[in-house]
Amino acid sequence: MQELFALFWSEHMDGMSFELPLFIVATFAGALVAGLSGFAFGLIAASIWLYILTPLQTASLIIAFGLIVQGYSVWKLRGALDWRRLWPFIFGAALGVPVGVTILTWGGPGDVRVGVGVVLVLYSLDALSRPALKPLKVPGAGVDGVVGFLNGVLGGITGLAGILVTVWCGLRGWPKDVQRAVFQPVAVGTFLMGALWIGAKGAFSAETIKLFLIGLPALFAGTWLGLKLFGRLNDAAFRKIVLVLLLVSGGVLVV
């Protein structure tokens, strides 16, 4: 097995022995969940990757893979996109991503991750313990822009580019197809901006690029299967899946 690893990268990466099968399984699982739910690739993959990769490598791979997963899904949903609803989130993300990437490359994102994780855990536990509330009515695009900004900051720090917008869509009470037509395009835009900013700072290493190429087949397979399963969900089941994934996401950020 060590001979196989040596074909792609050195035996040790950042002082840790790397497990190739574990990386591939995590990539497939993240893509499967993202195809099913419309988000959460990063939280599933990161729950394993963070034990074998650095935070910067993990965030870089989440952004690179997430751009493909979400981009393909958005292409499938292109007929349902409403740009009047999307632009405040994307504009806010454009301002937030540089802030998040700067925090990441400075090496001080820990407190922000933990704080967001605690909020997600509390929100998910509360939402799972009660019926869905009456949809939240928020006039104007300003609040959506603020949500987009905060989502961009978190996406730049962690690579988890759609979590806060997903929470917001749930609070608005939109049907599952409408939610996906909002938070998935926002995630694509956030991933793209994050990739550009990380690349501009020279944070993509040769090892990260090799891992990206190796994980592509697992990514495509998981995404295809997840999209097939999505068509079998109703709105209630979709809400529960999203809340459980947000709970797991918060737990991953806290740990």
The 10s digit of each residue's pLDDT in 52-65 is: 777 778 878 887 88
pLDDT band for position 216 (50/70/90)?
very high
Alpha helices in 107-175 (DSSP H): 110-128, 142-158, 163-172
Q: Is residue 168 within 8 Å of 92, Cβ to Cβ?
A: no
Higher-pLDDT residue of 117 and 95 is 95
User: Worst-scoring range by mean pLDDT, 28-32, 46-50, 166-170, 192-196?
Assistant: 46-50
DSSP-assigned beta bridge partners for residue 176: none
pLDDT band for position 7 (50/70/90)?
very low
pLDDT band for position 150 (50/70/90)?
very high
Return the exposure string of 13-28: e unless at least 16 CB atoms fall within 10 Å of the residue's CB, then b.
Answer: beeeebebeebbebbb
DSSP-assigned beta bridge partners for residue 70: none
Residue range 132-158: average pLDDT?
81
| Mean pLDDT for the chain overall | 78
Q: What is the pLDDT of residues 160-178, one digit of tens each?
A: 777 788 888 888 888 878 8
pLDDT at residue 1 is higher than 50:
no
